[in-house]
């Protein structure tokens, strides 16, 4: 079966496996994290056709031809594949570090989707967008600050 991940086609063997494990185990894209395995925490969030989606909750076969973007697919890369510039959301989270960071991939992917549809979100909109993703450290104010900073960086770009 063939998947479009981060702009590249990949042949995979196990279409019946959750997308999360295909990304991590077959493709080596470990930025997408396992958190709860039941779609509650949001650590495994990827963008599926531009929408935040829990990768632990659908099989690779269910993805079909829809494009998937993972944390690794956000940064700008040079011809050699090395990162030349972080995505504004990634940069904002680097500038606004969280306590442990386990939840970060899910929050980053959710923020990318939010800013794609609303480049200048207010605090309430940011809080609403972030609310489906859990942070066990309680860093929600820091997460909201990082998303607001990402909006600034994106406008400056």
Domain span at 28:
2-73
Domain boundary among 22, 53, 73: 73
Q: How far apart are CA 142 and CA 101, in angstroms?
A: 11
Q: How far apart are CA 95 and CA 75, in angstroms?
A: 15
Same domain, 150 and 83: yes
pTM, rounded to two decimals = 0.94
Same domain, 19 and 56: yes
Same domain, 86 and 126: yes
With a cut of 50, list the residues of the chain below it in pLDDT.
none
Amino acid 85: pLDDT: 96
CA 77 vs CA 83, 95, 114, 152: distances in Å: 4, 20, 23, 22
| Percent of the chain whose pLDDT exceeds 70 | 100
- Read off the pLDDT of residues 79-94 as tens digits, 9 standing for 90 and up: 998 999 999 999 999 9
Amino acid 86: pLDDT: 97
Q: How far apart are CA 157 and CA 153, in angstroms?
A: 6
Give the other-Cβ count within 10 Å of 57's Cβ: 15
User: What is the distance in angstroms between the CA of the first residue and the CA of the last residue of the chain?
Assistant: 37
């Amino acid at each position: 079966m063939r998947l479009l991940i981060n702009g590249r086609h990949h042949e995979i063997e196990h279409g019946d496996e959750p997308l999360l494990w295909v990304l991590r185990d077959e493709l080596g894209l470990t930025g997408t994290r396992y958190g709860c395995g039941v779609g509650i925490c949001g650590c495994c969030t990827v963008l599926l056709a531009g929408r935040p989606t829990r990768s632990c909750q659908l099989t690779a076969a269910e993805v079909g031809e829809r494009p998937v973007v993972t944390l690794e697919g956000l940064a700008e890369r040079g011809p050699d594949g090395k990162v030349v510039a972080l995505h504004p959301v990634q940069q904002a989270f680097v500038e606004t570090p969280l306590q442990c960071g386990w939840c970060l991939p899910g929050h980053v992917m959710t923020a990318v989707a939010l800013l794609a549809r609303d480049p200048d979100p207010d605090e309430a909109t940011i809080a609403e967008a972030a609310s489906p993703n859990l942070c066990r450290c309680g860093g929600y104010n820091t997460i909201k600050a990082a998303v607001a900073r990402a909006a600034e960086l994106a406008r400056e770009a």
